Structure 1
Amino acid sequence: MKIARIETIALRIPFTTGGQSAGGVWGAKDLQVADSLLVKITTDSGLTGWGETFGFTAIPAVKLVIDSILAPELIGRDVTSREKSMLDLQKKFHVFGRSGAFIYGLSAIDIALWDIAGKAANQPVYQLLGGSEATSLACYASLIRYADPDLIRRNVQRAIEAGYRHLKLHEVDVECVRAAREAAGPDIEITLDVNCPWTVREALDMTEKLRPFNLRWIEEPVWPPENYSGLAAVRKHGGIPVAAGENASTLMDFQHLLEASAVDFIQPSPAKMGGITELQKVFALANANNVAVMVHTFYDGPGLLASVHASAALGGSKALVEWRYFDLEAQLYGDAIIPRNGRIGVPQGPGLGIEPDPDVIRDYRLEL
């Protein structure tokens, strides 16, 4: 069975957020649309597989790389040679960068090829990864940055009323974190992703102020994100567990993170770092180093499904799935994957287990 066609499909879906966004690394202030990039691979036997790259403003560059460089290299290759093909293309194009558009594009392609592998075997992807008894996983509501204590209180309460017992904030102000903790009470687990804003000294000063709020982890507290020794210093002296990894792009990046003893929780992002093929290797590395994996899933399509399958098979009972708390106008999978009472179902169908809704693709397709 060979790859016959690779198609890239950009989507733009409006969302509401429970108030105005303060902006962040993923978009400008008052952002009200979520852009994503899907990849559809069709085989010569007619089987199709779906993948996804990390989206937003990266989409035009990734689409160009896939359409003009990666897809022509892959047409005609055997779909069962997935790992070899991914390594071949990493080696061939490494001179153009080991992060960004090339790796993002390969990530989506790899996820789509795993979808095809599961469909060919008539098994869900989690079974191909070793199996799991879990039919659902706990997830956390990943809130946007509001930078407004009143909006934070309102949306924390809204998430808790929807059944979430785990929350993630993207705030960088102590008073905003205080508001979240006051609204949530002592029993709700809160994590804080600050998206790499501080020097090591600034991060240590902030962790001293944040310690009273009993955070499960602080995520990417130092700039630049590859300052692994800086992360290690914050982990050692800050008094709050440290999480990082969504900006790591290759297996070597994750090895360096672990060698530096930089994290308590490592966060590979399958739509950014090589797909399921590389994700399972990060799980093995982390297990060897006794570090928990919390897969980064700030997306809603096949990348999310890939994360759910891998977390179910490889993450164990303590795995958490990130749910982007965006209130999208339309869901690519309808109601099939929306969390219920703070838990997300593990798809049981072949491959990734759920097919995208063609009406959503038709109605929200973005021409680039």
Structure 2
Amino acid sequence: MTSIAGDAAGLASFRLAKVEALVFRVPVEQPVQTSFGIMHDRPAVLVRVEDTEGAVGWGEIWCNFPSVGAEHRARLLESAVAPILLERAWDTPEQAFDAVSKRLHVLGIQTGEPGTIAQTIAGADIALWDLVARRIGQPLWRLFGGTNRIGVYASGLNPTEPERLAAAKRDEGFRAFKLKVGFGAERDASNLRGLRDLLGDDATLMVDANQAWDVDQAAEMARRLADFRLQWMEEPIPADRPWSEWVQLAGRSPIPLAAGENMRGHAQFAEALSTSAFAVVQPDLGKWGGFSGCLPVARAVLGAGRMFCPHWLGGGIGLVASMHLKAAVGGAGYVEVDANPNPLRELLARPYPAVVEGAVTLCEEPGLGVAPDLDAVRGLRVKHAYR
């Protein structure tokens, strides 16, 4: 049997007895700001799968936007994805991923929600891989042939007093930091100046525009920000712009371009890699693909000589899954760790991995090596009323 985990990974067929979604929300004092919207609370949708022998696996579905999206994704998982997963036994998680994706393809077209459906499938795939790895007693990073130490960076530095949060994260062990931009040229430049003054020349800095500009605006901003010695400029233009615009911008930008969180499917990633536009590629395994889709993409990214840096901005299960994804392939780059306060990060992934000198060392426990502390988050759970 051939698998993304190799020919002799010790995988065995499994049959599921339960597939369920758990929705959580936690209010935050400081909203999370992007150039296109604000998060006034932090949601998370976990996927829990259990096989007929009692083994359990955990996954997570990306659900940050729109603000009502978490409950909807939970209902989609339980109404559309779960019945297919429960129909039969599966030889590998990839087999299930491919089958569910094929079965729900037309539904995605009909509803106009191919992305949302892909997100629910992705969260289920993460859970299936966690389940399988726990069954055979292997941590996922080892099952996929990787090593367990990876670089990380502090993400999501808001445009309001970013130095305060960056200083706290530096003290926690981070050495690389990403600022949200797209809030006006002067404000963006002033924030970067403050961060560089605070963190020094040795710190790695990146920016994320969240699709804020057109090509000319992005090229001008790249020119203005180049003196801050940025590792990359992320999604400076809308992710759905033609490849020709991305190539044009890459030729005009003194800062390397990064994107990928809003790409979906092997074909789109292959097209992106065939251009000269992207120095850094950032699939989000909770938005599309899970491990079954994103691990082949990660290997292709490294094979093309680009930097692979998984995107994640959600709860703890998806974050640790992203760490295993990066650990599986290695290479230069980082895993994104949201810098903003969010109890659903630490409480949903116990024991939460520590950052030491800009890196995380994943544990030897099987699967993801973490699990949610459901007692601690009981008061944060939201009923989504599918059943």
Q: TM-score, normalised by structure 1?
A: 0.91
Aligned partners of 2:31, 2:52: CA distance in 1, in Å? Answer: 45
Which of 360, 363, 368 aligns to 1:347? It is 363
Change (3 A) 1:293 1:114: same
Report if the CA contact (8 A) 2:59-2:125 is conserved.
yes
Would you say 1:91 and 2:102 are equivalent positions?
yes
Report if the CA contact (8 A) 2:239-2:263 is conserved.
no
Report if the CA contact (8 A) 1:15-1:329 is conserved.
no
Report if the CA contact (8 A) 1:4-1:76 is conserved.
no
Aligned residues: percent identity?
Answer: 29
Give the secondary structure class of the aligned counterpart of 1:169.
strand
Gaps of 5+ in 2: 1-13, 183-187
The corresponding residue for 2:247 is 232
Q: Report which stretch shifted further, 191-200 or 53-62.
A: 53-62
Aligned partners of 1:81, 1:288: CA distance in 2, in Å? Answer: 25
Q: Report which stretch shifted further, 260-269 or 84-93.
A: 84-93
The corresponding residue for 1:4 is 17
Shift of 1:300: 2.8
Which of 58, 62, 83 aligns to 1:54? It is 62
Report if the CA contact (8 A) 1:244-1:266 is conserved.
yes
Superposition pairs for residues 1-368 of structure 1, below 5 Å? 1-15=14-28, 20-21=30-31, 23-24=33-34, 27-28=37-38, 31=40, 33-56=41-64, 57=67, 58-95=69-106, 96-97=108-109, 99-132=114-147, 134=148, 136-146=149-159, 148=160, 151-172=161-182, 173-316=188-331, 318-329=332-343, 331=346, 332-368=348-384
Report if the CA contact (8 A) 1:23-1:145 is conserved.
yes
Shift of 1:361: 3.7
Report if the CA contact (8 A) 2:146-2:330 is conserved.
no
Map Cα deviations across residues 242-301 of structure 1 (whole Å, 9 max, x no partner): 110000111111111111222001001000111001111102221231111111121232
Change (3 A) 1:361 1:240: same
CA RMSD of aligned residues (A): 2.0
Q: Report which stretch shifted further, 264-273 or 93-102.
A: 93-102
Number of residues of Structure 1 aligned to a counterpart in Structure 2: 357
The corresponding residue for 2:5 is none
Gaps of 5+ in 1: none
Report if the CA contact (8 A) 1:99-1:249 is conserved.
no
Map Cα deviations across residues 332-359 of structure 1 (whole Å, 9 max, x no partner): 2345324344322313211111121121
Q: TM-score, normalised by structure 2?
A: 0.87
Shift of 1:145: 2.2
Change (3 A) 1:162 1:283: same
Change (3 A) 1:118 1:226: farther
Give the secondary structure class of the aligned counterpart of 2:326.
helix
Aligned partners of 1:226, 1:63: CA distance in 2, in Å? Answer: 30
